[in-house]
Structure formats: structure tokens, C-alpha cells
Amino acid sequence: MKKFSDLGITIETPMTGDKIKLSKVLNRLFVLLDFHISDSKFQKGKSEKCLKLQIEIDGEKRIIFSGSSILMNQIGQMNKTDLPVECTIVQVSEHYEFK
């Protein structure tokens, strides 16, 4: 019989830090520590998913939530093994992008 530990099931590591608005970090260099994409509690936008970022900025750990499908697409191409990584979020026209 298999053991539960053999199934490879992992849990999401809890993120620490106070929530900060994405607008407060626009065009600022920060360190991306972790990310998670999950179903959104709020289905009022274009996206049914929610991006949760744990960052370090100004020496403090902070958490950002976003429904941006472009940010989710970009970060979905990353491997978590590449973390931590320095990055910036910029606004291009009506959307946000990692740089």
C-alpha cells in the first residue's frame, strides 16, 4: 500500500508580510520571493484567477494581489527555482508587465 508521503502532495507555503497595493510598487525595483496563482474570490473582472506575490521592498516583506492576466501569464513561464529575482512592474497602456 502507498504512503501519503509517496503521493508528492505539497502545501502552499504561507506568505508573510502586510498587503500592499500594486500601485505602490509600480516602477520600483523589488525582490520577488514567491508567487501563487489560484481561483479568485472575486469574479468581477476579466480574470477568474488571482495572482499572489510575496515581495521584499525597502527591507520589508509585503504581499500583492492582482487579477492581471498578463502578469499571471508572464510569471507562469517562470520556475520557482529561479526565485528570488529582482524585478519591476510597469504600466504599459492599460495593463501591467514585469520587467
Which of 56, 60, 65 is closest to 86 using CA atoms?
56
24 belongs to a structural domain: yes
Entry pTM: 0.81
- Dump pLDDT digits (tens) for 12-21: 778 889 999 9
Is residue 2 assigned to a domain?
no
Residue 34 belongs to a domain: yes
Q: Order of strands, edge to edge, in the sheet holding 18-19?
A: 18-19, 60-66, 49-57, 30-39, 85-87
Q: What is the pLDDT of residues 39-77, one digit of tens each?
A: 877 666 566 889 999 999 999 999 999 989 999 999 999
Q: Note whether residue 3 is domain-resident.
A: no
How many whole angstroms separate alpha carbon 71 and alpha carbon 58? 22
Number of domains in the chain: 1
Q: Are 64 and 55 in contact (CB under 8 A)?
A: yes
Residue 78 included in any domain: yes
Strands (E), 1-99: 18-19, 30-39, 49-57, 60-66, 85-87, 89-92, 95-98
Task: Print the domain residue range for 52.
Answer: 14-98
